[in-house]
Structure 1
Amino acid sequence: MKMLSSQTLGGNVSASPVAGPATLTDETMPLLRQYLRIAMRRRYAIIAAVVGCVLLGLIITLLMTPKYTATSTIEISRESDKVTNFQGVEREASVADQEFYQTQYGLLQSRSLSERVAAQLRLIDDPEFFELFGVSQDKPAFQQTNGRYPASGRAARQRVAGEVLLKNLSIDPTRLSRLVDIRFTSPDADFSARVANAWAENFIKTNLERKIQATSYGRDLLQRQLAEYKNRLDQSQRQLVAYASAQQIINLPSQTSGDNRATSERSIVADDLAALNAALSQATADRIQAEARYQQVGRSGASTEALRNVAINNLRQRRAELAAEYQQLMTRFEPGYPAAQAIQSQINQLDRSIAREEGRVTNSLQADYREAVERERALQAKVNQLKSSFLDLRRRSIQYNIYQQEVDTNRALYDGLLQRFKEIGVAGGVGVNNVAVVDPADVPQRPSSPRLLINLAASILAGLVLGAAIALALEQIDEAIADPAEVERRLGLPLLGSVPKVEGATPKEALLDRKSELVDAYLAVQTNLAFTTQHGVPRSFAVTSTRPAEGKSTTALALATTLARAHRRVILVDGDMRSPSVHHLGGVDHDRGLSNFLSGQDDISSLTFEMRELGLTAMSAGPIPPNAAELLTGNRLSLLIERLLETYDHVVIDSPPVMGLADAPLIASRVEGVIYAVESHGIRATLVKTALGRLASANARIVGGVLTKFEPRKANYGYGYEYGYGYGRDRRADAA
């Protein structure tokens, strides 16, 4: 049957003797699904929390005073616009210097700026301002005299006014930009706009004042340093001049050449040495040249100067002409010819003239050579003398150079400070700021708070959070067994099945209707019970519970009925001799029954009666004994079970409750297994655990648990479980 299959899915999930199909437990179920189950189970608490928070939020919103927020936008640049190339003393931030902006945001929220705004807007002596923001006026500084505050408490009121302004101010930088929003919130729209604009203006003024103050401080510091370095420079110069006079060190001043190159300062000795050394080099060159010309005359007999001499060349040309004429005469005449002799005489005269001229040239070259040698010696001696003087000057100039370096250093420092002093003077007078107002604050037309929709959304969210917390708290403190999964999770019992709560009919009437939900549920229990032992359903088992009225008698009767309908011979024994109930189902009295056999009567057939409608045999509890536990301590119950199993396939004992009685543990120790009935939403898990502990101490074998009186909708059982399948018929038609 389909309904039987559905019920079988609600069986055991643990590694127990019950080998039924698996179901979801809290350990295997997804976490989100567990929370959803808790939310559905505690939905009324969550709804109540949400409704309460929404009502509270609505009331608070309606009672809140409207507030207006005015916004002024400013731009903070990393560097101010350069009117001049001069810089002030204050350090400018680099492009990557994020500390600069964080510093500016901190300055925008400084106490000094807030007190300055309060003073500018004359809020310190304004009672309406303090009343507008609910400032307590119990302090002496706020005690009015003739409608005015005392002047002695002005400082205290200024501090309080600054704190009030800061409390209602917010600085919101725009991401990835240099824009900053200054927002001020108050119950007065016009006042909010005035404060936001005054805040931006005073921030610009204070920023400029800090720069001017830093520049002024730097100028004063530089002025003091200038006077100090001026004294140092004068002292070092006097020291240098005094030492030069004492050591007779005379240096020529630096000069600028034609190519605009400045020569350094030099001494006279060094200058003379350089000049004489250059002259010596030239004299040496002249001497070498004269010597070369003189030596050339000695080797060849004729010098270059003689060959270039005009007079000698003219004489030689005349001699050549006469020599030519003489040779012509010799061709015709003898050497003694008078004309030839006359020509020869002229030639001889010319030779003597040429020799005299060449001798004169040679003597001139020799004189030039000697003069060059003498001049070179004189210059060499003078240079050697100047070298000695220069070396002596070098030794005396060591301390002079030290004094000169000190003078140069002091002069460089003084010139640098003087230049910086002039630049600061110009930069301090320019007054350029790096903060500018982009959008001044306008008077807000609508209140910024309270916002009904946002407050309601926040109330709903707070209600959900509170409801979830309440639901989780209730879930933790609630010990009732809510759904079948908790039988195994909380009690550690294998779940045999869950039985719905029967309304509008007695359990017997529900069992007689084979299509009822109760029959379907117990068929599922019987199916799972068949997996608890190797031979199927235990031949003898007892049904018990923690306390009365949990459905154990109905469970015993229903299991006996389902077994009987499965063509098994079944006997139902009423083991509750203190409060018997089986005889009511059979329509008999309990004059004869279990207590009779336990007290010694052996005729079992006389102690039983037939329940033909259900197809089983039953044994009532018998007369109520004075002490039922004493009857159960012997071996008569075990004997009864053995004798009944000779005739019947299964012995089902309706056991009394466990708590407060010793009967149930005694019966449980005699049967093959115990089925434990747990009422859904009817008993605490701690009581059930205590009762199970008592059974365990009696060595009872608990084969599983049955959740009775289960209402799926009330428990929000997460299996999509409903019992009323209907078998294709209209329930309303059946009811009719």
Structure 2
Amino acid sequence: MKSMPALAFSLKRNFWGALASFASVLVVSYLYLKTTPPVYEGSARLTLDDRRVSVSDLGQALAANTTSGNANPIATQAELVSSERVLKRALEILSHKKLSHKITSIDKIGSRLRVKIVPATNILELRYKDSDPELVAAILNAISNAMVQENGESIRQQASSVRKFIEGRIPEQQEKLVRAETAESRFKQANSIVSLETQDTSLTNSLTALEDQERTLMAQLQEAQRKSEQLQKVIGSKNIQSAYTASRAGQDDELKGLRARLIELDSQIIEARGRFSDQHPSVIILLQKRDEIRALYNQSLRRIVPVESSIPANEVASDDLSRSLISTYITGEIEYNALIDKLKVIRSQKAALQSRVTELPTKQRILSALVRRHEQEATTLKLLQNKLEEARIAEAQLVSNVHIVGLASVPTSPANPKPMVILLLGTTAGLVLAIGVILLGEMLNTKIGSAEEVEDQIKLPVLGNLTERLRIQPGQLNRFLNNPKAVEPYRRLLKKLQLNNKNQLKSILISSSISGEGKSSVSVYLASVATMLSKRTLLIDADLTNPLQHYFFNLSVQPGLTDAVCEEASLLSVVQHTEIEGLDVLTYGGFPNRHAQVIEATAMKQLIATAMTLYDLVIICTSPLLEYTDAMTLSGETDGVVLVVRPDFTPKAIAQQMIDDLQRSGASILGTVVNVNPDPINLLRASNKEGKLMMEETPKHEIKANKGDRFQHTEG
């Protein structure tokens, strides 16, 4: 944000343009008031209510809201007011009045009509402007009446459309009802359904009884299996066949005798083996007899038992108890098998019942869907018949939900133009335009302003304000020093430099942003004034692209700076004395091939350091910052930089950029000098014949390229 002084300077620069803009707007406002005819404005009000005055539900619905979806009813009515249909009806109403000849067209009425929704209400405010106040009231009232009629007619047409639609739908709905009844009846007949609830109860009871029987049989099977296992352990039989064989073998008399003979032979064999070896004839004879009796026994056993099996003699049920137990075991096994067969039958019946129970929900769903369809078709038919009667009633009535709440009256005072409002707007617009002119002028002004604005624009302190125009010829510097009015600004500049620096100021580098700002003349006059303060001063012309110091003092170009740096000549051998006591000048010495190599040389830095030891003050004039970086290179070797700016000449953006570059390079910027005197280059060169001839005779590239090989460079 600009400071107050900066705003004052901006206003001062653009005052006349801003004043002219402000005055022109006021004049236009005044002419507008004088030339614009008066326009009258009237208003009428309509309301959209929901009183439901129809005797039928359908009529009440149509009157309550004639819109669909998410549309706002009051907004819809606001659009209808300015529609062509409503305006045509209003013209028909006006055609019966005396003012009809004043009406031009529907488009003209529509362009002047304004419709506004009163906030938080269902009220529409209609406004109309015209130069005839009676016509304003007549048009508004005609539009209001047309809107009421149009709304009622719209409701009636909607009711008629609904009636025609329902009359076409009723025959179709009757056919759908008949088809639904037929489908339900056929499904019941095909599935023998009288009542699904009764069938479901019967099947559930039967399934429960079968499940009870299944549990009883399972318990009996477990008991029979347990008894069978116990009897198997007692009788030693694993199945019914072996048990039956053992029982039959125990009851046969022949088998009993053979078993006795086998038992007797086994006893004799055991006794014989106790006395003889197995190869003894007696033992062999007994073994042969036992084998013969055993073969005869097996033959007899096959006669009794039809199955190929052999039963050891010790497993035969020879006593009554064994035969009784075997008989009980066989009976239990037969009963167990019978229980298993009965369980299979019950489970088969249970699966069949479960299948029928599972099918019941499917049948129930199908039947329920058919019943629902039947009921829906019947309900829809009944609803259509009721709505048909309501549509006929609504069509016979004339109902409107738009009502007039305020008729328009004839306006007595014009709405436009309003002098106070026009003048106020004109004043405001004039001020805005004047401010815009000032801002535009500042945007277009890219140069640094007056001396008073420099410090605010580039944010650096102003050390000197050199606003005095100097007309001093070369070789007339004593004349300058004898002019107190011309010397005093430079004397004040030196004093400020000394006061602003706590340490003793030994060296100053003077530069500018661009050429033509007068840095060379400032360097000359500042060095000249320094001698008046008893300071032994050295002025170094380090502007190797456009040197001027030798012109001011009528000095020869050589020896100079390039001789001291390139030829390693001593400083005192190359400086030249001037007519001003205490002031020496080191001219540029000639144009080198690579002037940057001279500035960057280590010898250049050593030269400045030597000068600071031999002189009280060293002033160095360098090339412009925009064109060359010489000032940034040498700034580190001096106590500070003084930047010369020229009012209404130096570009603000370039000056600020050069300052930023110096600060980033680490240079100490002492401040700025505002100078109105550009370097008198043409005047100096034209008046100094000797210097000009010397420049013509001296080759522009008098320092050979191979001399640059002796330069020593440092980083940065």
TM-score, scaled relative to structure 2: 0.49
Higher relative contact order (CA 8 A, sep 6+): 1
Taking structure 1 as the reference length, the TM-score comes to: 0.48
**Higher helix proportion (structure 1 or 2):** 2
